[in-house]
Amino acid sequence: MKQHSVTRGLMMEMVVGGFMVLIFAGLVYFTIILSREAWFRQKYALEVRFGDVIGLRAEDNVVVRGMTVGKVKSLALQPDGVHVYAALDKRLCMRSGYRIEVVSTSILGGRYLRIEEGAGEELPGGVVYDGAEAHDLMADAAELASAFRQAFTAGGILTNLERTVAGLSEVAESLRSGKGTLGKLFSDETLYRDISSTVASLKTIAARLEKGEGTAGRLLSQDEQLYQDISATASSLKTITARLEKGEGTLGRLLTADDQLYRDLSATAASMKNIAGKIERGEGTLGRLAQDDALYTDLKAAVRELRGAVDDFRENTPVVTFTSILFGAF
C-alpha cells in the first residue's frame, strides 16, 4: 500500500516536471519568435558618436531605408559625447555623405536609430561614425512656444492685436449704426430699393437686347442684312482708305508725302494775307473803298444818279420810238 503511494507520488512529480519543462520551452521559443532575435546569426557591430541621444535606449531599433536591420545594444557616456553601440543583422557599406540620426517615433515617446549609407566614396569599417544633431519634438515645440510668447509680449504683437480688435469693433459699430457707405448698405432700405430697381432695369435692357430690340439689340441679334450692311460699309471704308493711301483725289493728295499742294496753299494764304494788309492800309481802290468814307459816299451818289438816268431813259424810250416811226413813214 505504501509502495503504491510512493509510486503514485513519483508519477505526479514526473508529470508536473515534464509540464514545467514544456512551459519553459514554450516561453523560450515564443521569446525568440516575438523578439525576432536571431541568436545564432552573425552580428555586425556599429559604433556612433552623438552629442545628445534625446532618450535613445538599448533595444531600440536600427532602421535603414525603412527596414529594421538591428538593435541598439548599449550606450556609453564618453568625454567626447554619447557612444551608441548597435548590432546589425547585415554589414552596411557606409560611404561619404552618410547620415545617422536619432528619430522620434511620436511626440509621446519612442526613438529609433536611422541610418543613410551615403552615395560617395566607400568608408573603411570598424570606425566610429559621427551622428547628426538630434532634435526633440517636444523641446522644439516648447522653444517655439517660448518664442511666440516673447514675440507677443516683448514684440508688441499682442498690443497691435488688441488695437486691431478694437478697430474692428469700431467698424462693426459704425456698420451697425449705418455710418459711411458700407453702413448705409447694411441699414438703408432706400439704397437697397435703388439697387433692386437698377438691377430690374438692367434685366429689362438685357431682355430687350436678347430680343433684338433697338440698335444695340439689332447689333447683338442674328440679323443677316445688318451684318451685310456693316460688311459692305467696312469694305467701302477699306477701299476709301486704300485710295487715300495711294493719293487719289483731292483728300488723297492732301495726305500724300508730296507737299506741292501744301506749298500752293501756303502761297495762296500768304497772297491773301498781303491783299488783306493792303486793304487794311487803304491801298488801291478796294483799300480806299474800305477806308475812305467820302469815296464811298461819292460812289453811292454816282450810283444813285446813274440809276435815275436809267429810269428816265426807260420812261422816254416809247415816245422817241413812236415819233421815229411816224416821221419815218413820210
Is the model's pLDDT at 72 over the cut of 50?
A: yes
**81 — phi, psi (to 5°)?**
140, -160
Confirm whether pTM is higher than 0.75.
no
Is the model's pLDDT at 115 over the cut of 80?
A: yes
Short-list 89, 91, 134, CA closest to 113: 134
Is the model's pLDDT at 148 over the cut of 80?
A: no
Is the model's pLDDT at 98 over the cut of 70?
A: yes
pLDDT for 254: 65
**Parallel, antiparallel, or unpaired for β 67-78 and 61-64?**
antiparallel
- Top pLDDT among 289 and 14 is at 14
pLDDT band at 109 (very low <50, low <70, confident <90, very high): confident
Q: What distances in angstroms separate CA 21 from CA 25, 43, 140, 141, 211, one per listed residue?
A: 6, 30, 52, 52, 101
pLDDT for 195: 78
Task: Provide the mean pLDDT of the chain.
Answer: 76
pLDDT band at 125 (very low <50, low <70, confident <90, very high): confident
**Percent of the chain whose predicted confidence (pLDDT) is above 90:** 18
Q: Are 55 and 109 in contact (CB under 8 A)?
A: yes
User: What are the strands, taking DSSP E only, across 17-175?
Assistant: 44-50, 61-64, 67-78, 81-88, 99-104, 111-116, 128-130
Q: Which of 72-76, 260-264, 308-312, 315-319 has the lowest mean pLDDT?
A: 315-319
pLDDT for 327: 47
Q: Which of 38-42, 125-129, 315-319 has the lowest mean pLDDT?
A: 315-319
pLDDT in tens, 33-67: 655 555 557 889 999 999 989 889 999 999 999 99
pLDDT for 328: 47
- Give CA–CA dist 122/119, Å, rounded: 8
- Top pLDDT among 89 and 216 is at 89
pLDDT for 330: 44
Find the radius of gyration of the CA atoms of the chain: 60
125's CB contacts (< 8 A; 6+ apart) are 91, 94
pLDDT band at 297 (very low <50, low <70, confident <90, very high): confident
**Parallel, antiparallel, or unpaired for β 67-78 and 81-88?**
antiparallel
Please state the rounded mean pLDDT for residues 172-184: 69
- Top pLDDT among 28 and 239 is at 239
Residue 324, all three cell numbers: 421815229
Q: Any idea where the domains of the chain sit in the sequence?
A: 1-35, 44-140, 141-177, 259-298
pLDDT for 85: 96
pLDDT for 112: 92
Q: Are 99 and 108 in contact (CB under 8 A)?
A: no
| 199 class by beta-carbon count within 10 Å (0-12 exposed, 13-18 middle, 19+ buried) | exposed
Is the model's pLDDT at 247 over the cut of 80?
A: no
SS3 assignment, position 95: strand
pLDDT band at 307 (very low <50, low <70, confident <90, very high): confident
SS3 assignment, position 105: coil
pLDDT for 210: 76
- Top pLDDT among 295 and 52 is at 52
- Top pLDDT among 178 and 302 is at 302
